[in-house]
Chain A
Amino acid sequence: MAVTPRASVRRVVWRRSERTVPAPLAAEPQPQELLAGEEPFEIAPNDPLVAYLQAASGAIDLTRLDLDSPALQEMRAAGITLAIPLIANGELVGILNVGPRLSDQDYSADDHRLLEQLAAHAAPAVRVGQLVREQQVEIQARGRMEQELAVARLIQQNFLPKELPDLPGWQLAALYRPARAVGGDFYDVIELPEGRLGLVIGDVTDKGVPAAMVMAATRSVLRASAARLHEPGAVLARVNDSVCPDIPENMFVTCFYAVLDPASGALRYANAGHNVPLLHTPSGPAELRATGMPLGLMPGMSYEEKETVIDAGTTVLLYSDGLVEAHDARREMYGSARTASVLAGAPASSQSVIDELIAGLDRFADPAAEQEDDITLLVLRRRGDGALADFKLQSAPGNEREAMSRVAAAVDGIGLSPERIERLKTATAEATMNAMEHGNRYDPDLYVSIAVRSDGRRVSVSIVDHGGDRDMPMAPVPDIEEKLAGRQSPRGWGLFLIKSMVDAMHQESDGSRHTVVLEMTLEGGSDDADKP
């Protein structure tokens, strides 16, 4: 700050406003800016001197000022006799303070003018300096915040499932899309004894590191409880009692927990105040409602438990409020009605439910605004009444390869190992050849109908031809030694191969049609079908 060389000068830390300049900064000016031996002091924002200086039109003689002001007393005590307000844009940004002249004479009118001119030039420069400083502080603070956000994100990423289990007959897909200020959303899929599956979605109120930590703790407690307790209501009650003592005040956790028995489709669930999961069944929309208080509010709560059966073709959507409470540019919410309509559109897979919801949301949400809250989606789908493929093939040599590739495409991703898919392909090709050759006698006007079905435990391929009115040729069980010795035809491997490749094979005829059904078990994808 500019000073007149012949006057002793004292700098005063001037807190422009409590709001824009943090107090710690104002109290800690850079040492090199101070003259040796000088200590700054502060003027309270409500000191009457501030208002006086703000209104003053030039240099003020402090010795003659009559004001009940602690700051004035302090400045006088420091030997300041003249104060010239630094005004930039009509705002008091600092004070140019001068002590008595070394000659002990009063400042002249010329001195006043000079100092006032100096103040007029200095004020905008001081203001620029202050702004730069404020900017720096803000950048530092933001850096700290970014760091915190990074920590919160790290916690989130570490506590979300790395991959989802592969469930024959079911499809699971999940999405976690954090907002910039990471929230406390979480989801989990827990593999339980007897093939059951725990499904969790939750949301911790609040954001950032504290929310992420509560999320991590809740998730861990829930995993531990789920392993010990069967009933979802009991699990939530246990989790609630566990988190209650430690959860920060004003924080709580909403959480929906369900246990699925994939074999029967039975789903038991309880809800601690979380968004009600939506269902789309072949007969229409539904919800998974159960009452219960959020976790962490008070111990000793009980949670209503319900059970439903997820039928084939049904999709279950667990979601967080980041989805339904997203706003468009007119501040209208996305809402559960829009969400339900995406479900009702019967997307082809769990992943496409998520893709369509997110695409719809991105079309809806205000593109200028950043995502308000975390978005978490967990979609469970039971494959539609088992139909994986239906097609017809003309009876022509070589068309069995078409059957192979279409069956392979149909069973992709339903829980058959690549080796077992190869076996099913070979069995399909052999049975299709038999159907075209023996059933339809390679009549190009006769077709072979092929249907691939799955009930979640077993995949079946049925191959239908038009030879139901006659017996299938029955080759003797092939024996390589008999064949090499010429006692058996070198051919006749087809039926043997089919039976060796699949877990079960049966045939039936209704007088006009002949059907061969090939079956393969999905559970575990066990590779023990080496039955002769």
Chain B
Amino acid sequence: MTQAQTTLTVRVPITGVAIIEISGEVTRDSDAALKDAYERVDPHARAIVLSFEDLEYMNSSGIGLLVTLLVRAQRARQRILACGLTEHYREIFELTRLDEVISIHDSEAAALAAAA
């Protein structure tokens, strides 16, 4: 098993909204890293913005992990937003209907404005 080439950074730019910056790959090897990042988010945060600005590759296993994250966030009554997706991944979000439960924005600023 190779080590997941994933780096996740958590930021809190405004009270109640966390940003998880996803850099590199989102594959099944990202499981632990994603869980860890979610643990670092304040459980009382209203919204979590997933920034895909530096995403290189996400596959079906990675999408499965996003769904798992989404389930946890919904239980905690947190909204999930996304920004920085390329056209290709935006299309995949639409095909999988993830865009119906994750609101997609062009930029981090737009996502924060929507989350605030």
Q: Which residues of A contact B (CB under 8 A)?
A: 396-398, 400-401, 404, 419, 422-423, 426, 429-430, 433, 478, 480, 483-484, 486, 489-494, 496-497, 500, 530, 532
How many angstroms from the CA of A448 to the CA of B91 in the assembled complex? 28
Whether B74 pairs with A484 at a CB distance below 8 angstroms is: yes
7 contacts between A and B (CB under 8 A): A397-B29, A426-B92, A429-B59, A480-B100, A484-B101, A497-B92, A532-B95
Q: Which residue of the partner chain B has the closest CB to A480?
A: B97
Whether B88 pairs with A433 at a CB distance below 8 angstroms is: no
Contacts of A430 in B (CB 8 A): 59-60
Given contacts A480-B67, A480-B97, contact A400 B59 (CB under 8 A): yes
Given contacts A483-B67, A496-B96, contact A491 B2 (CB under 8 A): no
How many angstroms from the CA of A117 to the CA of B65 in the assembled complex? 111
Whether A433 pairs with B59 at a CB distance below 8 angstroms is: yes
Known: A480-B97, A500-B95. 8 other contacts (CB 8 A): A404-B57, A419-B91, A430-B59, A480-B100, A484-B67, A484-B70, A490-B68, A493-B63
User: 7 shortest A-B CB distances, which residue pairs?
Assistant: A491-B64, A493-B60, A490-B67, A494-B60, A422-B88, A480-B97, A490-B68
Contact with A along B12-50 (1 / 0, CB 8 A): 000000000000000111000000000000000000000
Which single member of A396, A397, A419, A484 contacts B88 (CB below 8 Å)? A419
How many angstroms from the CA of A490 to the CA of B35 in the assembled complex? 15
Q: How close is A126's CB to chain B, nearest CB, in angstroms? A: 81
Q: Which residue of the partner chain A has the closest CB to B57?
A: A401
How many angstroms from the CA of A478 to the CA of B57 in the assembled complex? 21
Whether B87 pairs with A419 at a CB distance below 8 angstroms is: yes
Q: Is B71 an interface residue (CB 8 A)?
A: yes
Contacts of A494 in B (CB 8 A): 59-61
Given contacts A397-B2, A423-B88, A484-B70, contact A530 B95 (CB under 8 A): yes
- Chain B positions 63-83 with a Cβ under 8 Å from a chain A Cβ: 63-65, 67-68, 70-71, 74
How many angstroms from the CA of A284 to the CA of B98 in the assembled complex? 56
Contacts of B70 in A (CB 8 A): 484
Contacts of B113 in A (CB 8 A): none
How many angstroms from the CA of A433 to the CA of B60 in the assembled complex? 10
Whether B88 pairs with A426 at a CB distance below 8 angstroms is: yes
Q: Is B116 an interface residue (CB 8 A)?
A: no
Contacts of B64 in A (CB 8 A): 489-493
Contacts of B63 in A (CB 8 A): 493, 497
Given contacts A397-B2, A397-B29, contact A497 B60 (CB under 8 A): yes
How many angstroms from the CA of A433 to the CA of B67 in the assembled complex? 20
Given contacts A496-B96, A497-B95, contact A398 B2 (CB under 8 A): yes
Contacts of A490 in B (CB 8 A): 64-65, 67-68, 71
Q: Is B109 an interface residue (CB 8 A)?
A: no
Q: Which residue of the partner chain B has the closest CB to A492?
A: B64
Contacts of A480 in B (CB 8 A): 67, 96-98, 100-101
Contacts of A429 in B (CB 8 A): 57, 59
Contacts of B27 in A (CB 8 A): 397-398
Contacts of B97 in A (CB 8 A): 480
Q: Which residue of the partner chain A has the closest CB to B64?
A: A491
Whether A493 pairs with B96 at a CB distance below 8 angstroms is: yes
Q: How close is B7's CB to chain A, nearest CB, in angstroms? A: 16
Q: Which residue of the partner chain B has the closest CB to A478?
A: B96
Q: Which residue of the partner chain A has the closest CB to B69?
A: A490
Most buried by B among A419, A489, A497: A497
Contacts of B74 in A (CB 8 A): 484
Contacts of A492 in B (CB 8 A): 60, 64
Contacts of A486 in B (CB 8 A): 71
Contacts of A401 in B (CB 8 A): 57
Contacts of B28 in A (CB 8 A): 397
Q: How close is B63's CB to chain A, nearest CB, in angstroms? A: 5
